[in-house]
Amino acid sequence: MLVVAENVKKYFAVEKGLLGKLLGGTRFIRAVDGVSLSIDKGEILALVGESGSGKSTLGRLLVKLIDPDSGAVIFDGQDITKLKGENLRRLRRRMQIVFQDPYASLNPKMKIGDQITQILLEHNLATESFAKKEVIQMLKAVGLTPPEDFYHKYPHQLSGGQRQRVAIARALILKPDFLVADEPVSMLDVSIRASILDILLKFRSEYSLSILFITHDLSVARLIGDRIAVMYLGKIVEEGSAEDVIAKPLHPYTKALIDSIPSIRRRQDVSRVKLKEYIVDPVNPPRGCRLHPRCPFATKECLVEPKLIKFGNRSVACHHPLG
Amino acid sequence: MSLLSIKNLKVYYYTLSGIVRAVDGVSMVVSKGEWFSVVGESGSGKSTLAYSIINLVPPPGRIVEGEIVFNEVNLAKAPHSVIRRVRGREIGFVFQDPMTSLDPLRTVGSQIKEVIEEHGGASGREVEVIAKEAFSEVGLSEEKFYSYPHQLSGGQRQRVAIAIATVLKPKLLIADEPTTALDVIVQRSIMEIFWRLKSRGMSIVLVTHDLALASEWSDRIAVMYAGELVEIGPTRDIIEAPLHPYTQLLVKSTPDIQGDKALNYIPGEPPDLKNPPSGCRFHPRCPYATEICRREAPKPTIVRGRIVSCHLLSPTR
């Protein structure tokens, strides 16, 4: 396994008002609340969840943009939560992240080619002329053709899709082993979305890049993921191969998500799982199974928290998994 | 019976760096009780089209040419007082972000009551009854009446916005990407509200980037590309036998949780509407483009019960 998370927790303190300060006691949002997962070399794990599920926080933990409150993140055998200094820097090159909004991560005043070349130079990986050649090749690989023209463009001269290609080129120029892609296609038009997925798949097959692909969209997760993990309120509720999870979801939450996704096919309305609407207070999530106030199958048992239990190749955290 | 009829509508933005032809010669008809969806990608002009119907195009944009006939009144030429009356009372509008139309400082109940008092001609106790009924129609419990917008979830806020937009029982509801900021489970419940409104005779115009969403709920779909409607037809025809090359490629590119796992996309990028391509605006991305496509803009023609703008399908070829 290249990346392993072991019972990782990350809580964020909530801003206290004056009253809160007087009364004392910090309140926390449990963004990631005891997550374990692993990603193999060359594997793509699609992490699916709605807004507020904690999926982006988990992504940031895995590349050490933030550190967990407890638990371990193990990268290629080393617990990165404890790494510092030169050892950390060396590992950083091997893990990268791309975000939903590429504009936010690009320097608006610098030619895109120079931005990428700089990375190679900073890491002393190439001479200037060799670096440029590498970058031209990379721009071509992410579909920015002719690359010689794109090299000299500034971010504002590019479309959203082209900027995301630049962000990917920049993240992958060092040939990292692991990439976290946080909603990389959510802002892009559907007509170009698949071209970005295509690029990620190409790099994976070319040199066994491992990817954590974070998305709110199960149909995108199915297109790119070897496996899918579904997250709800800080916890993974189901995990398995992409085909299994979509074709035969075990958790009522996964089924409700699948049933809600609009489809261009005419579909017979087979028993759709409908969740009740319920405003979740992230500081005070429901006790027991966090879905129980919304779940049509909830019983008294669900007041006890279900464990993520393995069945062969898949796991589910539910007292009443679907058959 | 047609309720809304748009003819050769042109809406341009006069910016310092050039004229943006956001809506460039759009014609469409929406019938009474029909759910009509306009599907387009970002920058296709679909939101501008929606806003222009109720004369809410923000400056420097304006309606340059064309007719917007609603209930036999041409809104493109009507005086402001007429449009104000139509807006709200006869045409309801729902925005992507419900906070655009909600006052953060007042309870949502008092906001819906105000709309009824101003336009509805009801008073006192009656207003309260109508307002609470509208809340229950969109699935909000009575206690929410006394909430402030920030105390509600995104989905609940959108329900409030829909209740306000429809409380005066307008004939037409226009919704511009009403669920784009919401999670899929909430999205479906919002669509179910629209469906209930439609079953009571309200016409719905849904503007969305999501072809799958439109296809699940609409009677007819219009596909918009670069300021023009390239194909208009019944939903199943558009999805199962699209005629325009753009529609064909868009259908193929739309990921489907039940469909093939193929990765399809359309090469190239949508054009800049300050300087759209000559001839057919899709020709630089179209796999079937020929000389005439580069030279001449195709005219909308009726093909197999649909309206399509494409030289490949024109009867003279």
Report which of B24, B65, B69 is spatially closest to residue B44, judged by C-alpha positions.
B24
CB pairs under 8 A between A and B: 111
Written as one letter, the residue type at A5 is: A
Which residues lie across from B173 on neighbouring strands? Answer: B92, B204
Mutate to test the interface with A, among B182, B210, B265, B282 (most CBs of A within 10 A): B265
pLDDT tens, position by position, B17-32: 999 999 999 999 999 9
Rounded Cα–Cα distance for residues B161 and A192 (Å): 32
Distance of CA B33 to the CA centre of its chain: 15
Residue A120 and residue A134 in contact, taking contact as beta carbons nearer than 8 Å: yes
Residue A59 and residue A211 in contact, taking contact as beta carbons nearer than 8 Å: no
Please give the residue of chain A at the shortest CA–CA distance from B192: A260
- How many C-alpha atoms does A31 have within 13 Å on its Cβ side? 19
Q: Reduced to 3 states, what is the DSSP secondary structure of residue A59? A: helix
Contact A189 B258 (CB under 8 A): no
Contact B184 A263 (CB under 8 A): no
pLDDT tens, position by position, B232-246: 999 999 999 999 999
Rounded Cα–Cα distance for residues B273 and B275 (Å): 5
Q: What is the DSSP letter of A114?
A: H
Q: Is the pTM of this model over 0.95?
A: no
Interfacial residues of A (vs B; Cβ cutoff 8 Å): 50-51, 159-162, 189-195, 197-198, 201, 216-220, 222-223, 246, 256-267, 275, 277, 279
Tokens of B5: 């009829």
pLDDT at residue number B226: 96
**Closest in A246, A256, A264 to B254, CB measured:** A264
User: Splitting chain A (323 residues) into consecutive groups of 10 residues, what average pLDDT does each group show?
Assistant: 96 76 77 96 97 94 96 96 89 92 87 94 87 95 95 93 94 96 92 94 96 96 97 97 95 95 75 82 90 96 96 94 89
Q: What is the mean pLDDT of residues B84-99?
A: 91
pLDDT at residue number A27: 83
Which residues in chain A are closer than 8 Å to B215, comparing Cβ atoms? 262-264
- How close A158 comes to chain B (CA, Å)? 10
Instruction: Identify the residue with better confidence: A230 or B270.
Output: A230
Contact B269 A192 (CB under 8 A): yes
pLDDT averaged over every residue in chain B: 93
Rounded Cα–Cα distance for residues B154 and B173 (Å): 20
What distances in angstroms separate CA A181 from CA A31, B74, B134, B227, one per listed residue? 18, 49, 43, 33
What distances in angstroms separate CA A44 from CA A3, A4, B256, one per listed residue? 11, 13, 19
Rounded Cα–Cα distance for residues A175 and A96 (Å): 9
Radius of gyration of chain B from its Cα atoms, rounded to whole angstroms: 20
pLDDT over 60 at B317, yes or no = no
Strands of chain A, DSSP E: 3-13, 28-39, 44-48, 70-75, 78-79, 95-98, 178-182, 210-215, 227-232, 235-241, 309-311, 314-316
pLDDT at residue number B262: 86
**Closest in A257, A261, A279 to B153, CB measured:** A279
Contact B265 A263 (CB under 8 A): no
Which residues in chain B are closer than 8 Å to A160, comparing Cβ atoms? 42
Which residues in chain A are closer than 8 Å to B35, comparing Cβ atoms? none
Of the pLDDT bands very low, low, confident and very high (cuts 50, 70, 90), residue B220 is: very high
Please give the residue of chain B at the shortest CA–CA distance from A186: B180
Secondary structure (H, E, C), chain B: CEEEEEEEEEEEEEECCEEEEEEEEEEEEEECCCEEEEEECCCCCHHHHHHHHCCCCCCCEEEEEEEEEECCEECCCCCHHHHHHHHHHCEEEECCCHHHCCCCCCCHHHHHHHHHHHHHCCCCHHHHHHHHHHHHHCCCCHHHHHCCHHHCCHHHHHHHHHHHHHCCCCCEEEEECCCCCCCHHHHHHHHHHHHHHHHCCCEEEEEECCHHHHHHHCCEEEEEECCEEEEEEEHHHHHHCCCCHHHHHHHHHCCCCCCCCCCCCCCCCCCCCCCCCCCCCCHHHCCCCCHHHHHCCCCCEEECCEEECCHHHCCCC
Q: What is the mean pLDDT of residues B67-91?
A: 92
Please give the residue of chain A at the shortest CA–CA distance from B235: A264
Which residues in chain B are closer than 8 Å to A192, comparing Cβ atoms? 265-266, 269
Q: Which residues neighbour B238 within 8 Å (Cβ) at sequence distance 6 or greater?
A: B215, B221, B223, B231, B247, B251, B306
Please name the helix (run of DSSP H) or strand (run of DSSP E) that holds residue A255, with its range, or none.
Answer: helix A252-260
Contact B184 A50 (CB under 8 A): yes
Q: Reduced to 3 states, what is the DSSP secondary structure of residue A318? A: coil
- How close B231 comes to chain A (CA, Å)? 17
Please give the residue of chain B at the shortest CA–CA distance from A217: B184
Which residues in chain A are closer than 8 Å to B216, comparing Cβ atoms? 262-263
pLDDT over 80 at B158, yes or no = yes
This model of the complex carries an ipTM of 0.88
Q: Class of B2-90+178-183+206-313 per CATH?
A: alpha beta
pLDDT at residue number A261: 92
Of the pLDDT bands very low, low, confident and very high (cuts 50, 70, 90), residue B316 is: low
Domains and CATH numbers, chain A: 3-94+174-316 (3.40.50.300)
Written as one letter, the residue type at B206 is: L
Rounded Cα–Cα distance for residues B316 and A86 (Å): 72
pLDDT at residue number A258: 94
Rounded Cα–Cα distance for residues B41 and B250 (Å): 10
Rounded Cα–Cα distance for residues B187 and B191 (Å): 6
